[in-house]
Chain A
Amino acid sequence: MRLGLMAVPVAFFAVFFAYPVTAIVGRGLKAEGDWQFGRIGEVLSRPDILDVLWFTTWQALASTALTLLIALPGAYVFARFDFPGKQVLRAVVTVPFVLPTVVVGTAFLALLGRGGLLDELWGVRLDTTVWAILLAHVFFNYAVVVRTVGGLWSQLDPRQEEAARVLGAGRFAAFRRVTLPALAPAVAAAALMVFLFTFTSFGVVQILGGPAYSTLEVEIYRQTAQLLDLPTAAVLTLVQFAAVGGILAVHAATVRRRERALKLVDPAQTSRRPRGAGQWALLGGVLLTALLLILLPLGVLVERSFDGPGGYGFGYYEALQTVGAGGSSTFLVPPLEAVGNSLRYALVATLIALVVGGLAAAALTRRAGRLVRGFDALLMLPLGVSAVTVGFGFLITLDKPPLDLRTSWILVPLAQALVGVPFVVRTMLPVLRAVDDRLREAAAVLGASPLRAWREVDLPLVRRAVLVAAGFAFAVSLGEFGATVFIARPDNPTLPVAVARLLGRSGELNYGQAMALSTILMLVCAVSLLLLERIRTDRSGEF
């Protein structure tokens, strides 16, 4: 039964993930039918490649450290303090996480780049510096830490700390000996997720890094698409694959440790209004950080989209409706059509991700042996494997019968669903696992067959989780860039692809249109997330 449930996801991953990735790696590493493993050594000893590896690692470490530094106080404030507008703010800081990387890059370009806000005010430009990349990464991952750590923190019983205080521990000692050990696995899990996302960063670095900075993923894209150096790209893909596999293994171990029994209570009971100057200052600091770091870039992005040559107006938005505005032939169709394309693709991708991820989560519900756990980890891989490789792999493998999809529109949603599945599984699995088996038994004793018991007990309890999963899958699909940029047909671009193409051209009109299109994309993502926040009750999930 469980094997039956797993068949669909396994087949999906085999055909649309493992096959394209191995094919492209094979193409890079095989010459005349022989594996050329020597190439790995050759590539890895090139100084330029070593530079990329070094930069990828240290910027990911720095981004992770910076994110923790800035977001941990936020996690504390959201977990323990009550203040007006908390719910809204919690939703707002989560918006960046579902924003397409292209939009994040564009927003920071509008803030820090040429002609950006800081440039206008003080003549400061940070684009093409590493600071722009780090700040954008913090912006992007702030919510990961706040949600993962803060979610657990808000459910830790404060009486545990009080017990330690009564036993003679000082305020700090009580925190260090009681709260910190309970939080540590969540902090570690969050840090690893942030490291994973920043290690494989593509859109942000592509837009903000300029020619000077390049992560593995950007380099894979450059080698594949610009230099057509497949062997180098293949080696880099393998390196990234190994690194991501390592990170995920550590992550799985820390998550398992996190499932260790903690005494959790209702978050509503643990938070209260801040008391004393120190706590108000902390709250103020966190609010200011959120304002500067999260609202400001988004605000500037929106402002730029209206700030045309002739003053504020809808000029750039109107230009989106015509072909070849600004004298360039960037598009075969009006850029605004990308909105419709994106929504259509994202809907289909969401459906695919829900079916595949839902079946996988159902199969993984019961705790089981090594095989199933391995499958669990496998489902996370698309989060880290080079999307560029997947996209290019689609092109070279799915182009002949029986799977000749190269000209089919379904190719884009398939690639996007691949990134959506991990989110669906991660959202639904904790909820499904939390359904007490004895509820199913109670239904069975009362006369419900296994299928009926699933319909009467499991389904109603996970309905919210399904909606949340769908929302995440939708947002992620909407923003997917690395794979889509390869396989989206020129006459059917998606929003992120259109933004990137506009940014790649010079001229004020193109720049303004990119801002306008990013604003539209941001609004679509933000609205779908805010809708989710309304139906979401359980905040203990990982995202």
Chain B
Amino acid sequence: MLSLQAATVRFGERAALDAVDLEVDDHRIVCVLGPSGSGKSTLLRAVAGLQPMDGGRVLLAGQDQAGVPVHRRGLGLMFQDHQLFPHRDVGANVAFGLRMHGTGRAETNARVRELLELVGLPGAERRAVAALSGGEQQRVALARALAPRPKLLMLDEPLGQLDRSLRERLVVELRTLFQELGTTVLAVTHDQGEAFALADRVVVMRDGRIAQEGTPLDVWQRPASAFVARFLGFDNVTPATVTGQAAATAWGKVPVPEGSPQGEADLLVRPAGVRIGAPEDGLRCTVGVRTFRGNHVTVRLLPENAPVLEAECALRDTPDEGAVVGVRFDAAETVVLAGAGKPSGA
């Protein structure tokens, strides 16, 4: 459906999009993930035609979009803060795109009713948008974007402003809805949880370039670089020298899976792979702050003369703060990251 070829956007010296290639297949949900300033919003604006490009091409269904103005691209875009029209009621907001395309009144009304039902707001046509809660606004914005049956629906931080529990519920609803409708979706977000729950494919961006692309499981299991690993929330990343099935690190010798790349590389140890034992057993650490996360606890461990380690353990095995413990590592939870030789400065 959508194809970007060497898409480039520059703001002065800085490239917000640096020769990005991206494919979004029909009926797929692709999520672009990245920290703020990584160029992900610029990507959406470039596809929509709101941001002129300095190089490269945007193709929609095989058609080059150069010179096609925004309003003729037939896309849907849900803005970060919804941007509902404040002077129109819910029904008129949803009907806007249909009116712009010259849809007849009866058909428009039927479609508005159908969409409001779809997003869980049946009969809300006459309500004022100012009176809606954040979650309701989000639903209306979605209905408005879907109403003209866009070729491609783009979502900019779709759930960014909502509170956590609502977000977790809505993300499941959205995925179910898009799968039922067969909508092609390109979403951008900085929230990895949102991206992994929503997407068929995840694209991680950094400084206007694609840092990694793959299924959510792929990216989660095998981050391509120290940047991606840290962005996903893993803090146990350290430079290492891999020899055979062991890596020499600041934390001592860490076992790595069979077939890992050899030589200098960054090493990721997932918190689940940090095993806490008796003080005389392995790397000696002092227990720091503990964070309770429902069914497990994240513990900060302070080794002598080495970077902080994060460990995950079951509630009943949690050591006391200030205790001295020993640490061993599980080879199944370590990943030798590509991009060898680069120190993990990020």
Residues of A within 8 A of B (CB): 436, 438-439, 441-449, 452-453, 456-457, 460-461
- How many chain B residues touch A (CB < 8 A): the figure is 23
Q: Say which one of B6-14, B74-82, B319-327 lies at the interface with A.
A: B74-82
- Asked if B96 is at the interface (CB within 8 A of a chain A CB), the reply is yes
- Asked if B87 is at the interface (CB within 8 A of a chain A CB), the reply is yes
Q: Which residues of B lie under 8 Å from residue A457 when comparing CB positions?
A: 85
- Asked if B69 is at the interface (CB within 8 A of a chain A CB), the reply is yes
Question: Given contacts A444-B70, A445-B77, is CB(A436)–CB(B97) below 8 Å?
Answer: no
Per the bound structure, the CA–CA distance linking A522 and B254 in Å amounts to 89
Assess whether A446 is in contact with B79, with CB atoms less than 8 Å apart.
no
- Asked if B83 is at the interface (CB within 8 A of a chain A CB), the reply is yes
Q: Which residues of B lie under 8 Å from residue A447 when comparing CB positions?
A: 71-72, 74, 97, 100-101, 148
Selected from B76, B85, B86, B101, the residue in CB contact (under 8 A) with A445 is: B76
> Which 9 pairs across A and B sit closest by C-beta, in order of nearness?
A447-B100, A446-B97, A444-B70, A445-B77, A442-B83, A460-B87, A447-B71, A444-B71, A438-B83
- Asked if B144 is at the interface (CB within 8 A of a chain A CB), the reply is yes
Chain B residue at minimal CB-CB distance from A438? B83
Chain B residue at minimal CB-CB distance from A452? B100
Chain A residue at minimal CB-CB distance from B81? A438
Assess whether B100 is in contact with A446, with CB atoms less than 8 Å apart.
yes
- Asked if B50 is at the interface (CB within 8 A of a chain A CB), the reply is yes
Contacts A438-B79, A448-B100, A461-B87 known; 6 new A-B pairs at CB < 8 A: A442-B83, A446-B144, A447-B74, A448-B96, A452-B100, A456-B96
Q: Which residues of B lie under 8 Å from residue A452 when comparing CB positions?
A: 71, 100
Residues 121-169 of B contacting A (Cβ, < 8 Å) = 144-145, 148
- How distant is A476 from chain B, measured CB to nearest CB, in Å? 28
- How distant is B77 from chain A, measured CB to nearest CB, in Å? 4
Per the bound structure, the CA–CA distance linking A444 and B145 in Å amounts to 12
Per the bound structure, the CA–CA distance linking A441 and B48 in Å amounts to 10
Per the bound structure, the CA–CA distance linking A269 and B291 in Å amounts to 38
Per the bound structure, the CA–CA distance linking A285 and B318 in Å amounts to 67
Per the bound structure, the CA–CA distance linking A443 and B101 in Å amounts to 12
- How distant is A511 from chain B, measured CB to nearest CB, in Å? 51
- How distant is B158 from chain A, measured CB to nearest CB, in Å? 14
Selected from A439, A441, A448, A453, the residue in CB contact (under 8 A) with B50 is: A441
- How distant is B179 from chain A, measured CB to nearest CB, in Å? 23
Assess whether B71 is in contact with A448, with CB atoms less than 8 Å apart.
yes
Per the bound structure, the CA–CA distance linking A457 and B100 in Å amounts to 13
Per the bound structure, the CA–CA distance linking A461 and B88 in Å amounts to 10
Selected from B75, B79, B86, B145, the residue in CB contact (under 8 A) with A461 is: B86
Chain B residue at minimal CB-CB distance from A448? B100
Q: Which of B50, B72, B73, B74 has the most CB of A within 10 A?
A: B50
Per the bound structure, the CA–CA distance linking A436 and B85 in Å amounts to 10
A-B pairs under 8 A by CB, number: 59
Q: Which of B75, B76, B77 has the most CB of A within 10 A?
A: B77
Residues of B within 8 A of A (CB): 48, 50, 69-77, 79, 83, 85-87, 96-97, 100-101, 144-145, 148
Per the bound structure, the CA–CA distance linking A456 and B95 in Å amounts to 13
Selected from B71, B87, B97, the residue in CB contact (under 8 A) with A449 is: B71
Question: Given contacts A438-B83, A460-B87, A461-B87, is CB(A445)–CB(B48) below 8 Å?
Answer: yes
- How distant is A437 from chain B, measured CB to nearest CB, in Å? 10
Q: Which residues of A lie under 8 Å from residue B86 when comparing CB positions?
A: 461
What would 12 A/B residue contacts be, using CB atoms closer than 8 Å? A438-B79, A441-B83, A442-B79, A445-B75, A446-B100, A446-B148, A447-B72, A447-B74, A447-B148, A449-B71, A460-B87, A461-B86
Q: Which residues of B lie under 8 Å from residue A448 when comparing CB positions?
A: 71, 96, 100
Q: Which residues of A lie under 8 Å from residue B77 when comparing CB positions?
A: 441-442, 445
Q: Which residues of A lie under 8 Å from residue B71 when comparing CB positions?
A: 444-449, 452-453
Per the bound structure, the CA–CA distance linking A438 and B157 in Å amounts to 15
Assess whether B83 is in contact with A439, with CB atoms less than 8 Å apart.
yes
Q: Which residues of A lie under 8 Å from residue B148 when comparing CB positions?
A: 446-447
Per the bound structure, the CA–CA distance linking A447 and B100 in Å amounts to 5
Assess whether A449 is in contact with B69, with CB atoms less than 8 Å apart.
yes
Chain A residue at minimal CB-CB distance from B144? A446
- How distant is B103 from chain A, measured CB to nearest CB, in Å? 10
Per the bound structure, the CA–CA distance linking A460 and B85 in Å amounts to 10
Per the bound structure, the CA–CA distance linking A436 and B86 in Å amounts to 11
Per the bound structure, the CA–CA distance linking A412 and B144 in Å amounts to 50
Q: Which residues of B lie under 8 Å from residue A456 when comparing CB positions?
A: 85, 96
Chain A residue at minimal CB-CB distance from B75? A445
- How distant is B172 from chain A, measured CB to nearest CB, in Å? 26
Q: Which residues of B lie under 8 Å from residue A460 when comparing CB positions?
A: 87
Per the bound structure, the CA–CA distance linking A445 and B87 in Å amounts to 18
- How distant is A154 from chain B, measured CB to nearest CB, in Å? 20
Per the bound structure, the CA–CA distance linking A436 and B71 in Å amounts to 18
Per the bound structure, the CA–CA distance linking A443 and B83 in Å amounts to 10
- How distant is B236 from chain A, measured CB to nearest CB, in Å? 39
Q: Which of B72, B73, B75, B100 has the most CB of A within 10 A?
A: B100
Per the bound structure, the CA–CA distance linking A449 and B73 in Å amounts to 11
- How distant is B76 from chain A, measured CB to nearest CB, in Å? 7
Q: Which residues of A lie under 8 Å from residue B70 when comparing CB positions?
A: 441, 444-445
Per the bound structure, the CA–CA distance linking A81 and B87 in Å amounts to 30
Per the bound structure, the CA–CA distance linking A452 and B100 in Å amounts to 9
Per the bound structure, the CA–CA distance linking A508 and B86 in Å amounts to 58
- How distant is A269 from chain B, measured CB to nearest CB, in Å? 15
Q: Which residues of B lie under 8 Å from residue A439 when comparing CB positions?
A: 83, 85
- How distant is B329 from chain A, measured CB to nearest CB, in Å? 47
Selected from A441, A446, A461, the residue in CB contact (under 8 A) with B96 is: A446
Per the bound structure, the CA–CA distance linking A438 and B73 in Å amounts to 17
Assess whether A443 is in contact with B48, with CB atoms less than 8 Å apart.
no
Q: Which residues of A lie under 8 Å from residue B101 when comparing CB positions?
A: 447
Per the bound structure, the CA–CA distance linking A441 and B77 in Å amounts to 9
Q: Which residues of B lie under 8 Å from residue A453 when comparing CB positions?
A: 71
Q: Which residues of B lie under 8 Å from residue A445 when comparing CB positions?
A: 48, 50, 70-71, 73, 75-77
Per the bound structure, the CA–CA distance linking A436 and B72 in Å amounts to 22
Chain A residue at minimal CB-CB distance from B74? A447
- How distant is A304 from chain B, measured CB to nearest CB, in Å? 47
Question: Given contacts A438-B79, A449-B69, A449-B71, is CB(A444)–CB(B87) below 8 Å?
Answer: no
Per the bound structure, the CA–CA distance linking A447 and B103 in Å amounts to 12
Chain A residue at minimal CB-CB distance from B88? A460
Q: Which residues of B lie under 8 Å from residue A446 when comparing CB positions?
A: 71, 76, 96-97, 100, 144-145, 148
- How distant is B164 from chain A, measured CB to nearest CB, in Å? 24
Assess whether A444 is in contact with B144, with CB atoms less than 8 Å apart.
no
Per the bound structure, the CA–CA distance linking A447 and B95 in Å amounts to 12
Chain B residue at minimal CB-CB distance from A446? B97
Q: Which residues of A lie under 8 Å from residue B87 when comparing CB positions?
A: 460-461
Q: Which of A436, A439, A446, A453 has the most CB of B within 10 A?
A: A446
- How distant is A120 from chain B, measured CB to nearest CB, in Å? 55
Per the bound structure, the CA–CA distance linking A61 and B164 in Å amounts to 57
Per the bound structure, the CA–CA distance linking A445 and B155 in Å amounts to 12
Chain B residue at minimal CB-CB distance from A445? B77
Per the bound structure, the CA–CA distance linking A444 and B96 in Å amounts to 11
Per the bound structure, the CA–CA distance linking A452 and B72 in Å amounts to 13
Chain B residue at minimal CB-CB distance from A435? B86
